[in-house]
A and B are shown apart, each in its own frame.
Chain A
Amino acid sequence: MTHEQIIETLEAAFAGQLSDCDTAHGISAITIPAASNLKVLQFLYDSEDLQFRFLTDLTAVHYPNRTNEELCVVYHLHSLHLNKRLRIKLYVPVAAPKVFTASKLFSGANWMERETFDFYGVDFVGHPNLKRILNVDEMDYFPMRKEYPMEDPTRIDKDDEMFGRGGTIC
């Protein structure tokens, strides 16, 4: 089964819900509405032809300029049956980044969703234990969001001019 056939199968099952379908570098990508993520994942899991039963990765991307769809949650699925990979994206507003948890379907999603919450603040509805996993518990922001500086904000002894970026952190 080719990538095109996988996308056709999905389009037949979820008519009108898929967008931005493409295949590049041997991996297909689709964009789905945030509310139907579990339906799509379950369909891919259950389908005897597809058998996307391995969740390789789950992460997020912050696009500060996309109004009302600032946060993109990305699932990387692998079908060991077909040896094909699939990337599923969905967009949520940064003001209310609510996504249904995939941890009921993939146990491995538990920690990945905690990591995504830790760094981007995506609220995985239904997650059994949604708290920080890698950063210190006292951290009060989501460091991978673009509005926060990469540098440690508590440092006062580093002169930005020495690092070729003007006098202030921008």
Chain B
Amino acid sequence: MRPVQYNTNLKMVDLPEGHSGEGFFATSLNNVIGLARKNSIWPLPFATSCCGIEFMATMAAHYDLARFGSERLGFSPRQCDLLMVMGTISKKMAPILRQVYLQMAEPRWVLAVGACASSGGIFDSYSVLQGIDQVIPVDVYVPGCPPRPEAIIDGVMKIQELVGQESLRRRNSEQYKGLLESYGIQ
């Protein structure tokens, strides 16, 4: 019996597709970068209401978003990869949200958590933005009012899928530039 018991129950990420032989493993740069990115996403929480409370549970010990490589929340948009918008965004807040998005460096992803961030939710009102996709592009929508932590984790895993499969050239493509152009972002 060893004096120290090591945890052998570690979950390892699968190797990407590639060719291996004695002393080498070859795969595409896309795969390697995708693998690294998807398992080290730094989320930036933009929490304005009850979905933010669910997010706190998601980050805490029981649901533990850190298991998916999102151990560290960044509270500066300049350091973060994933903008998580959780809660009602009023029209007065919209330019601020947009500013936060603009401050993030590429590549960046956006997760709209809950009915309000996705569509305005029950607040079909003169003062509330009817979905954040009116001001910034959104990658994944999480339904629910508010969604349970499982749903938020599911949304983050969908983002991981996107991140892992994204081509390194996507952000330079005409299609992506056109998308940003449609939001008036250079």
**Cα of A150 to Cα of B126 in the assembled complex, Å:** 6
In the assembled complex, which residues on chain A have CB atoms less than 8 Å from the CB atom of B128? 152
A155 engages B130 (CB within 8 Å): yes
Q: Are A155 and B92 in contact (CB under 8 A)?
A: no
**CB-CB nearest in chain B for A144:** B126
A153 touches B124 (CB 8 A): no
B126 near A152: Cβ-Cβ < 8 Å: yes
A134 to B92, Cβ gap below 8 A? yes
Q: Is the CB of A152 within 8 A of B92?
A: no
For A141, the closest partner residue in chain B by CB is B126
Q: How far is the CB of B76 from chain A (nearest CB, A)?
A: 26
Tell me the minimal C-beta distance from B115 to chain A in angstroms: 13
Q: How far is the CA of A150 from the CA of B127 in the complex (A)?
A: 9
Give Cα distance in the complex from A143 to B91, angstroms: 13
Q: How many pairs of residues, A versus B, come closer than 8 Å at their CB atoms?
A: 31
B-contact 0/1 string along A9-34, CB 8 Å cutoff:
00000000000000000000000000
Knowing A135-B92, A136-B91, A136-B92 touch, does A158 contact B127 (C-beta < 8 A)?
no
**What interface size band does chain B fall in?**
10 to 19
How long is the Cα–Cα vector from A134 to B125 in the complex, in angstroms?
14
A155 touches B91 (CB 8 A): no
Q: Which 5 A-B pairs have the closest CB atoms?
A: A143-B126, A136-B91, A151-B124, A136-B92, A155-B130
| Contact indicator A153/B92 (Cβ below 8 Å) | no
What is the bound-complex CA distance between A152 and B120, given in angstroms?
10
Q: Is the CB of A148 within 8 A of B130?
A: no
Q: Which parts of A130-169 form the interface with B (CB within 8 Å)?
A: 134-136, 139, 143, 148, 150-155, 158
For chain B, residues 99 to 147, give those with C-beta under 8 angstroms from any C-beta of chain A.
120, 124-128, 130
B-chain residues with CB within 8 Å of residue A158 when the two chains form the complex? 124
| Chain B residues within an 8 Å CB radius of A139 | 126
Please list 27 pairs of residues, one from A and one from B, whose beta carbons are closer than 8 Å in the complex, sorted by A's number. A134-B92, A134-B127, A135-B91, A135-B92, A135-B126, A135-B127, A136-B91, A136-B94, A139-B126, A143-B126, A143-B127, A150-B124, A150-B126, A151-B124, A151-B126, A152-B120, A152-B124, A152-B125, A152-B126, A152-B128, A152-B130, A153-B126, A154-B130, A155-B120, A155-B124, A155-B130, A158-B124
Residues in B whose Cβ lies below 8 Å from that of A148: 126
Residue numbers of A with Cβ under 8 A of B are 134-136, 139, 143, 148, 150-155, 158
Instruction: Find chain A residues with CB under 8 A from B127 CB.
Output: 134-135, 143
A40–B130 Cα distance when bound, in Å, is 44
C-alpha gap A152/B124 in the complex (Å): 6
Measured CB to CB, the closest approach of chain A to B47, in angstroms, equals 21
Q: Report B128 CB to chain A, min CB distance, Å.
A: 7
Give the docked Cα–Cα distance between A136 and B125 (Å): 13
Interface centre among B124, B125, B126, B128 (most CB of A within 10 A): B126
Q: How far is the CA of A148 from the CA of B125 in the complex (A)?
A: 11
Measured CA separation A155–B120 after assembly (Å): 10
- Tell me the complex Cα distance, A143–B90, Å: 14
A153 to B127, CA, bound (A): 11
A136-B91, A136-B94, A151-B126 provided; 4 other pairs, C-beta below 8 A?
Answer: A150-B125, A151-B124, A152-B124, A153-B126
How many Å from the CB of A131 to the closest CB on chain B?
Answer: 13
A150 to B92, CA, bound (A): 17
A150-B120 Cα distance, complex, nearest whole Å: 14
